[in-house]
Structure 1
Amino acid sequence: MTLIRPALPEDVPALEALIAASARALGPPYYTPAETEAAIAHVFGVDSELVADGSYLVAMRGDSLAGCGGWSRRATLFGSDRYAGRASGLLDPAVDAARIRAFFVAPGFARQGVGDALLAACETAARAAGFRRTALMATLPGQPFYARRGYVADAAVTLDLGGTPVRFVPMNKPLA
């Protein structure tokens, strides 16, 4: 069974390690090692605003940290504290899409329903906050996961991450 709970500030070092391990183990063959390391250095990681907001979640399996991911009512679509393109402003649920953010699963728990449990919790919370749709920026390995759960892809974008181009896919979904 997967237990979902809000991330705590003291979880951040373990979450950062999980995120890097997940990206390195689950990124190939979608990303080269250079692309993965650029994403870890510039984009992947914890957004401390989500932790403070109580909307960044951790998935536990027994005593093991199995995954993390969150939702947000803030304008930032993606990126950790290290990403320069952040916007803390609040979204209007009547017109804006809630953000689905920073989903990563520990390699040993991949394809065991951890991502599903996190996504369900995030969508439920966003719906309860009045949002009628969600938006996210998918990694290339994450795109098939989200597509199977009703997310629709827009055209891929390429970000320059410290001189390394890395592709991502914006996606969105109406909430029933």
Structure 2
Amino acid sequence: MTTYTPPQRTATLADAPAIAALMRASVLELFPRFYDETQTASAAEHIAAIDLRLIEDGTYFVHEADGEIVACGGWSRRNKTHAGAGDAADDERPLDPAIEPARVRAMFVRGDWTRRGLGRAILESCRLAAKAEGFTSLTLTATMPGVPLYLSFGFTEVERVTVTTPDGVDLPGAVMARDVEQPDRIGE
């Protein structure tokens, strides 16, 4: 049986409203498997917050099926690690690819499109693009629903963390990392 993978493309600013809606819908559908009602509501408000800088930088990807965005995610050459914990003074600082990892950011898949390879395809696009810009590693701060995907793509857990959202809600997560040269674990 062949699984249909909708085409991937670089996101544009015109996609922002659809991306924001997808992020929120994904959190509301997938987070309750890992977080309580208060955590899910806070994540829908603060974690599912679109970062237009990723789109402006041309480092954000979407998969579209039947005219609807069903998956999104990207990477950054800037210091910001994740949404949801407020802004840090050095979030916009460009990373040094020789000594710092690129950041994987804002990965969301619509609930009815999970486990079809879309997240993996976006991660591979991120890996290849970061590698082309001289980065040797990737890092991310994962919410618990994303950990299985990232592990399957070759990320390792560096440490467990708690992200405190601006409304004071704590969300358990994990900082994860991988080398850009590391082979994909698919088929192992």
TM-score, with normalisation over the residues of structure 1? 0.93
Q: Which residue of 2 aligns with 1:84?
A: 87
| Partner Cα distance (2:6, 2:131) in 1 | 21
Q: Which residue of 2 aligns with 1:48?
A: 52
Which residue of 149, 160, 172 maps to 1:167? 172
Question: 1:11-160 counterparts in 2 under 5 A?
Answer: 11-79=15-83, 83-85=86-88, 87-160=91-164
Deviates more, 1:38-47 or 1:20-29: 38-47
Q: Cα distance, 1:165 vs. partner?
A: 1.2
| Partner Cα distance (1:160, 1:74) in 2 | 21
TM-score, with normalisation over the residues of structure 2? 0.88
2:136 touches 2:180 (CA, 8 Å); kept in 1?
yes
Percent identity among equivalent residues? 35
| Partner Cα distance (1:6, 1:111) in 2 | 21
1:43 touches 1:83 (CA, 8 Å); kept in 2?
no
Mind listing any 5+ residue stretches in structure 1 that lack a counterpart? none
| Partner Cα distance (2:164, 2:127) in 1 | 30
Q: What is the root-mean-square deviation in Å for CA atoms of aligned residues?
A: 1.5
| Partner Cα distance (2:81, 2:123) in 1 | 16
| Partner Cα distance (2:139, 2:77) in 1 | 11
SS of equivalent residue, structure 1 residue 153? strand
Q: Cα distance, 1:3 vs. partner?
A: 1.3
Mind listing any 5+ residue stretches in structure 2 that lack a counterpart? 182-188
Q: Cα distance, 1:134 vs. partner?
A: 0.1
Pairing 1:9–2:13 present: yes
Q: Cα distance, 1:160 vs. partner?
A: 2.2
* Greater Rg by CA: 2
2:143 touches 2:173 (CA, 8 Å); kept in 1?
yes
Q: Cα distance, 1:98 vs. partner?
A: 0.5
Q: Which runs of 4+ in 1 moved over 3 A?
A: none
| Partner Cα distance (2:142, 2:117) in 1 | 18
| Partner Cα distance (1:71, 1:160) in 2 | 22
